[in-house]
Amino acid sequence: MRNTRFILRAARPIILCLASLAPQAFATDFQATGLFTNGATLGGTLTIDTNVGTVTASDLTISGAGTFSTLISQINYGPPVFYSVVADNIAGTEEFSFGLLADSLVGYTGGDFCGDSNGGSCLSSVFYPISDPFNQVSLSNGTLIGTSGVAPEPAALSFLGTAFAVGLMFHYGSRKRNGSSVKE
């Protein structure tokens, strides 16, 4: 009977922690490749929470324009259109406005960027100097390929470990208060 009480006491905080893990982030990194009309290349990664359906981080690089890591906006135009994202480069001098050929990013597994080769199914992805937004360079073609899967929230995992330790402390503390000794 004592072992059952021990398990129940120690399990309470663990169960609460496991409940907090339920809405896990499904952060997936996608490798980007592409070519612009001026010969510049697209590379780097884009991180998408495929559970919620949003871009969570950008590390996209355009040769000659820098790394675009500051997410400015994103909007899902919904079926049958595309998902649009705007990111600025680190220097804050260039902007990359791109679309992904997807009705939604929920469950997204990769695919094409909107580009000149898509035949008008969405607005072409472009980059341009922020000081001259009409001086746009179009993406001829580009794709995103998934490279990773589910990533649980790190804070929830440390919380789980802490809760387990607290549960053990409560258990052994209550045994000592009741006059029991801990025997291994």
Residue 25: pLDDT over 90: no
Choosing among 2.40.128, 3.40.50, 3.30.160, 3.30.2300, the CATH entry for 27-146 is 2.40.128
Q: Quick one: average pLDDT of 93-107? A: 92
Residue 50 has which token pair?
């495929």
117/145: higher pLDDT: 145
Q: What is the pLDDT of residue 29?
A: 96
Indicate the angle between helix axes 154-177 and 2-21, nearest 10 degrees. Answer: 160
Residue 177 has which token pair?
């208060």
Who's near 183: CB < 8 A, 6+ residues apart? none
pTM, two decimal places = 0.67
How far the first Cα of the chain sits from its last, in Å, is: 17
Residue 152: pLDDT over 50: no
DSSP state of 10: H
Where in 6-136 does DSSP place strands (E)? 27-36, 41-49, 54-62, 66-76, 83-89, 94-100, 110-112, 126-129
